[in-house]
Amino acid sequence: MEDLIDEFEIQALRRQVLEQGSIGRKVRHFFSGSNPLAFRFRMGNKIKKANEMLNEIAAKTANFHLTEKHETNVIHRERETSSFVQTSSVIGRDEAKQHLVNFLKNPADGEDIPVLPTVRIGGIGKTTLAKLMFNEESVKSHFELRIWVCVTEDFDIKQLMIKIIKSATGMNCKDMNKEELHKVLQDCLNGKRFFMVIDDVWNEDKKKWSELKDLLCGEAQGSRIIVTTRSRKVATITGTSLHTI
């Protein structure tokens, strides 16, 4: 179902591009495999197959005498990423990389840490692009500290502090309380120009993001944060840069 939604979002992006293009381009698009009629036919078949699969699952539920049960505690998905990337296997993205380099190195006005959200649908390469910047030699030499954090869907502040400290120092602080974590985090970041990637953010609660930002105070001038997300609302909440990529 997520794949189907992604395809609809990609088609919507195509339409936005075509609305800005020439008439000849639109004609070529109409006769291509991604024209509206072909797209509707193709997606109609995929939706039909998805419905058949759901019906099959429902039938198996009855066969195995399973009953529906609603739980108040929702288990969120976990998707752990790392900063490692095989640069030789990555093609393109030069323009986006240059945009990020400019963001990371250019001076910024104000006291807040500048935050650049990279917002796209799943599978487009947000995390890969962030990895490329994280491992860029000029970025390594520019920042005193580089931190990579993959966020779970519930955006738990205590878990985020534990992950940030471990990425920055290698320390395992799972047994510490929130106050102890806060002190260690401040000692870790205070006075250091750092570059932090917060990967795969889904939380749309502005209060939680503000709480995390407050914990990162005391940084050296020139620190930067990049956030990767599928949600434009998340990008609006987190971003201090005028541009998303």
74/201 Cα distance (integer angstroms): 18
Q: Which is nearest to 162 in space by CA: 143, 141, 180?
A: 180
Classify strands 115-119 and 145-150 as parallel, antiparallel or unpaired. Answer: unpaired
Q: Which is nearest to 161 in space by CA: 126, 134, 187, 200?
A: 187
Residue with tokens 């024209």: 35
Domain range summary for the chain, segments of one domain joined by +:
2-63, 87-238
- Compute the C-alpha angle 225/226/232, nearest 5°: 125
**What pLDDT score does 33 carry?**
53
**What pLDDT score does 197 carry?**
93
The pLDDT tens digits of the residues spanning 101-136 come to 666 766 655 557 888 888 765 555 678 888 888 888
How far does Cα 233 stand from its chain's mean position?
Answer: 12
Stretches where the chain sits below pLDDT 70 are 13-14, 16-34, 68-103, 105-111, 120-125, 152-153, 218-220, 240-245
CATH fit for domain 87-238, picks 3.40.50.300, 3.30.465.10, 3.40.640.10, 3.40.50.720: 3.40.50.300
**What pLDDT score does 217 carry?**
72
pTM beyond cutoff 0.85? no
Tell me how long the chain is: 245
DSSP output for 144-201? SEEEEEEPPTT--HHHHHHHHHHHHH----TT--HHHHHHHHHHHHTT--EEEEEEEE
Contacts of 236 (CB under 8 A, 6+ apart): none
Q: What is the CA radius of gyration of the chain?
A: 22
**What pLDDT score does 196 carry?**
93
